[in-house]
Amino acid sequence: MLLLAALDGLAYGSLIFLVAVGLSLIFGVLGIVNVAHGSFYAIGAYVAAAAVLALGAAGLPTWLAFPALLLAAALVGILVGGLVEIALLRRVYGKEEVLQLIVTFAVFMILEDAQKVVFGVQPYFANAPMNWLGTVEVFGIFYTTYQLILMPLVAAAVLLGLRFFLRRTSFGRAIVAVTQDREAATAMGIDATRVYLITFIIGAFLAALGGALASATTSLTPGIGAGTLVLSFAVAATAGLGRIEGAAVAALLIGLGRSAAVYFAPEFDVLIPYLIMMLVLLVRPQGLFSTVQTRKV
Amino acid sequence: MLEIRELSAEIEGVQVLRRATLSLEEGATVALIGRNGAGKTSLLRAIMGFMTVTGGAISFDGKPLDTVKAHERPRLGIGYAPEDRRLFSTFTIEENIRLPAEVMKLGEAEIARRLERIYAVLPELADLRQRPAAGLSGGQGKMAALARALMVGSRVILLDEPFQGLAPVLANRYAAALRALRDSHPDIALLITESNPSLLRNFAAKAYAIERGEVSETQLAESSLAAAGLH
């Protein structure tokens, strides 16, 4: 049972890492706490499920579902994320945080209802990609390959890919420069407006990718966005907002904690992630991985 | 080459530049003298496109700058070393210096050529190139900020209070670097702000005084001390 809890935790942690790292990236660069992040997750899940069901209905081979999941997430990131940034967020950068929160919260509410209009309130279930990959046996326990191998692999690829992108590519370095000092970066010729847009799209894409991956493992109902949003806030806060590697560790910690609770103390299932967050923040209010800013002399 | 005509600008409703007029010729070294809060930084930030301009105009090579976005201005050959250095602390020195060239998508050969010229002017940076910018001393940081401005500043370099906070030895070293730059790059125009005019007396050919956002021509002699309110 302990092993089963660990495997569950790994799969679950991978999923919330994808969502939380996007949230963290957006906060780190744009300074915005993006409540609408939960909607990107939910819309990613719905669009992916619809695409998988459409592929199935058309009688196309199931492996096509995997590129379809990725494509669905990219589409949601670019179209929905891009639209939100250009039409709304651009107007509130540097304004009061309350205003920014209200704007992203309003986007969240609007997108939640838009989902219901487009996809209805009936549960969506598109688990063909998960069944197609079959199961693996770990110490006598059968577990789906999709959840145990594919999801953690995607999470690891995103973690390594983001690190490489931010440190080694010239656009990644431009993002880091804008994060540290927007005006100085602009004086170096960096188009900060474009950096903000692309960062927001990447963050939205990661949330949608989390949703797309999750769509094969669970049935989709209205409200899935809110639950994941709150959980990814817990992960991001535990890690320290803006910390990419930290989000991975915190996601794993909270994922494992939650699945342990599911098996051993189900009544605390909902509570555990926040208990972990609370404990961490009590000891380290800046989060697990943030260093206290050294004074610039 | 760089002409500022009757420029007015404000920060959150407070007027910080009042009909400021200043011109910078090719290869000139011009000092802008004024005490803290007089508007020196605001004037440089206006040239870089970071100010809300309420009147007047800036032109570069006869073309108005107001339609050129802030991030496109470095491409014209304008380098800027802000006050307080403002290096990117997680990058190494060389990554900081290379950044504007990478953003402009200069080729590797061109970047190497420019780096070589920069290290010729600022040899102490060559030994520090792999050091993280966060670990630099004040003087080294100023040199790195100058080097970074040189990377794209092929026409004009704006230096905001480069001597501020430097110990006398380092200030002399920095001044020597500026003279080396003057000798090796005679075409670049330098606009240097300073609150202490005596530091620039040896090198600026022309000087302006700025007081409460108003700019007037001055001499870098005793009279300029009075004009800048410094005795």
Q: What is the pLDDT of residues A247-274, one digit of tens each?
A: 898 999 998 988 888 888 888 888 888 8
**Residues of chain B below pLDDT 50:** 222-231
CA A30, A171, B124, B144 torsion: positive or negative? negative
Judge contact between A225 and A39, C-beta under 8 A.
yes
**B75–chain A nearest CA distance, Å:** 7
Question: Is B148 within 8 Å of chain A by CB?
Answer: yes
CA A158, A159, A164, A170 torsion: positive or negative? positive
Of B71, B90, B148, the CB nearest to A190: B71
Tokens of B82: 């802000």
Tokens of A292: 């206290």
Q: What is the pLDDT of residue B134?
A: 87
Tokens of B145: 């900020």
Interface of A with B in 99-138 (CB under 8 A): none
Amino acid at A97: E
Task: Count other C-beta atoms under 10 Å from residue B168's C-beta.
Answer: 8
User: Model confidence over A104-127: pLDDT tens digits?
Assistant: 999 999 999 999 889 888 888 888
SS3 at position B182: helix
DSSP per-residue letters across B101-141:
HHHTT--HHHHHHHHHHHHHHSHHHHHHTTSBGGG--HHHH
Say yes or no for a CB contact (<8 Å) between A189 and B103: yes
User: Model confidence over A170-223: pLDDT tens digits?
Assistant: 899 999 999 999 999 999 999 999 999 999 999 999 999 999 999 989 888 888
- Chain B residues within an 8 Å CB radius of A296: 84, 89
User: Model confidence over B107-133: pLDDT tens digits?
Assistant: 999 999 999 999 999 998 999 889 988
Question: Is A172 within 8 Å of chain B by CB?
Answer: no
Of A180, A189, A296, the CB nearest to B74: A189
CA closest to A178 among chain B residues: B88
Give every CB contact of residue A155 below 8 A, 6+ residues apart in sequence.
A13, A14, A15, A17, A18, A248, A251
Between CA B67 and CA B71, with CA B70 as vertex, the angle to 5 degrees is 120
Tokens of A183: 């005006």
Residue B163, by phi and psi: left (phi above 0), alpha (psi -120 to 50) or beta? alpha
Domains, chain B, ordered by start: 2-227 (3.40.50.300)
CA dist B51 and B32 (Å) reads 18
Computed on alpha carbons and rounded to an integer, the radius of gyration of chain B in Å comes to: 17
Q: What is the pLDDT of residue A221?
A: 87
Of A187, A191, A192, the CB nearest to B80: A187
SS3 at position B16: strand
CA dist A6 and A197 (Å) reads 37
pLDDT band at A293 (very low <50, low <70, confident <90, very high): very low
SS3 at position B156: strand
CA dist B161 and B169 (Å) reads 16
Q: Does this complex have an ipTM over 0.90?
A: no
Question: Is B165 within 8 Å of chain A by CB?
Answer: no
Judge contact between B173 and B95, C-beta under 8 A.
no
Q: What is the pLDDT of residue B226?
A: 45
Task: For residue B32, report the phi and psi dihedrals to the nearest 5 degrees.
Answer: -120, 110
Give every CB contact of residue A150 below 8 A, 6+ residues apart in sequence.
A133, A213
Tokens of A174: 């431009």
Task: Count other C-beta atoms under 10 Å from residue B169's C-beta.
Answer: 9
Q: What is the pLDDT of residue B221?
A: 63
Task: Count other C-beta atoms under 10 Å from residue B57's C-beta.
Answer: 13
Q: What is the pLDDT of residue A282?
A: 86
From A39-43, A54-58, B50-54, the region with the lowest mean pLDDT: A54-58
**Nearest to B156, CA basis, from B39, B87, B58, B16:** B58
Mean of the per-residue pLDDT values for chain A? 89
CA dist B188 and B173 (Å) reads 20
Q: What is the pLDDT of residue B191?
A: 95
CA closest to A297 among chain B residues: B138
Q: What is the pLDDT of residue A290?
A: 67
DSSP per-residue letters across A190-232:
--HHHHHHHHHHHHHHHHHHHHHHHHTTS-B-TTHHHHHHHHH
Q: What is the pLDDT of residue B228?
A: 44
**Nearest to B203, CA basis, from B229, B177, B169:** B177
Tell me the β-bridge partners of A138: A141
**A196–chain B nearest CA distance, Å:** 14
CA dist A251 and A229 (Å) reads 13
- Chain A residues within an 8 Å CB radius of B90: 176, 180
Residue B59 has what DSSP assignment?
E
Amino acid at B59: S
Q: b or e along B182-210 (b: 16 or more beta carbons within 10 Å of the residue's beta carbon)? A: eeebeebbbbbbbbbbebbeeebebbbbb
Q: Which of B12, B51, B71 to mutate to test the interface with A (most CBs of A within 10 A)?
A: B71
Residue B84 has what DSSP assignment?
T
Judge contact between A233 and A36, C-beta under 8 A.
no
Judge contact between A217 and A130, C-beta under 8 A.
yes
Q: What is the pLDDT of residue B139?
A: 84
Say yes or no for a CB contact (<8 Å) between A189 and B71: yes
Q: What is the pLDDT of residue A174?
A: 94
Fold assignment, A2-160+192-283: ABC transporter involved in vitamin B12 uptake, BtuC (1.10.3470)
Q: What is the pLDDT of residue A173?
A: 92
Work out the average pLDDT over A61-72. Answer: 91
CA dist A165 and A186 (Å) reads 20
**B219–chain A nearest CA distance, Å:** 30
